[in-house]
Amino acid sequence: MVERRRLVAGNWKMNGRKAGGVALARDLAERCTSAEALPAEVVVCPPATLIWPVAEAVAGSPLLVGGQDCHAAETGAFTGSVAAAMLAEAGCQYVIVGHSERRRDHGETNADVAAKGRAAVAAGMAPIVCIGESADERDRGEAVAVVCAQLTASLDGLLDRKPTSIRPVVAYEPIWAIGTGRSATPGEIAEMHARIRAHLAVLGGDAQAMRILYGGSVNAGNAAEILALSDVDGALVGGASLKSGDFWCIVTAIS
């Protein structure tokens, strides 16, 4: 049985300026450093301009840094985009790809997401691949089918079993639960995570070794119950990652 190290990642989205972002990251890095036993890998994903100063501020601490998106290409005429290798050079070990806000606002397809994930791995970072159904899809009883189809296409080329390869992380984020204050219920989360793990095995992934995070209105109050579910290997946290105390409560909710 492979031990899956828990992972709690904070997605700051388009929030924060240099002074506040660095202070938040420093505070978390100190909490991670002084924790007797850190129950999870802890990652912050600041906006692109803050990655470099945040990574410098927390260097040498257990706090890790991630990007919120990367381009699939190595270089080129892609105004406004950031390549995976640029993120890695700035100090990122992880990068979120396929967040529903990117899929919605930038028309990203599953194929785009898979290409970004492959670029991340090529640059030495683990992609956190986001998937999740809309409220309408859930109401129509299509949630599992939609999520499995997203998994299949968004992980294309990412499930190489070579021991040296970097394993992608999956983040199940039902769109209707993101930023709404309405988390999925423990029953809904448990069912979907079990389905995702079963589907990863069908796809030929090392399903027992892969981490599946839940995201969608995780907060200090509901984290313990969600993180205790057997196929939940951690959380991707938006709003509650912007306050050190709240985010830390989520990390320490892992029993």
Using alpha carbons, list the distances in angstroms from residue 112 to 88, 103, 115, 118, 234: 19, 9, 5, 10, 25
Is 99 assigned a catalytic role?
yes
Rule CB under 6 A: say whether 90 interacts with ligand PEP. no
Rule CB under 6 A: say whether 28 interacts with ligand PEP. no
Rule CB under 6 A: say whether 236 interacts with ligand PEP. yes
**Residues 121-160: x/- map of binding to ligand PEP (CB under 6 A)?**
----------------------------------------
Rule CB under 6 A: say whether 174 interacts with ligand PEP. no
Is 173 assigned a catalytic role?
yes
Task: Give the count of residues interacting with ligand PEP (CB under 6 A).
Answer: 13
List 6, 7, 8, 11, residue binding ligand PEP (CB under 6 A): 11
CA distance 37 to 120: 29
Q: Specify the DSSP class assigned to residue 229.
A: S
Q: Cβ 5 to ligand PEP, closest distance in Å?
A: 20
**Residues 186-215: x/- map of binding to ligand PEP (CB under 6 A)?**
-----------------------------x
Q: Cβ 6 to ligand PEP, closest distance in Å?
A: 16
List 39, 53, 62, 179, residue binding ligand PEP (CB under 6 A): 179
CA distance 40 to 63: 10
Rule CB under 6 A: say whether 178 interacts with ligand PEP. yes
Rule CB under 6 A: say whether 239 interacts with ligand PEP. yes
Q: Cβ 43 to ligand PEP, closest distance in Å?
A: 12
Would you say 56 and 91 are in contact if contact means Cβ atoms under 8 Å apart? yes
CA distance 223 to 148: 25
Q: What angle do CA 145, 204, 115 make, to 5 degrees?
A: 75
Active-site option among 41, 71, 99, 108: 99
Strands (E), the chain: 7-11, 41-45, 64-67, 94-97, 126-131, 169-172, 212-215, 234-237
CA torsion sign, 17 to 18 to 23 to 26? Answer: positive
Would you say 234 and 38 are in contact if contact means Cβ atoms under 8 Å apart? no
Q: Cβ 178 to ligand PEP, closest distance in Å?
A: 4
Binding site for ligand PEP (CB under 6 A): 11, 173, 178-179, 215-218, 236-240
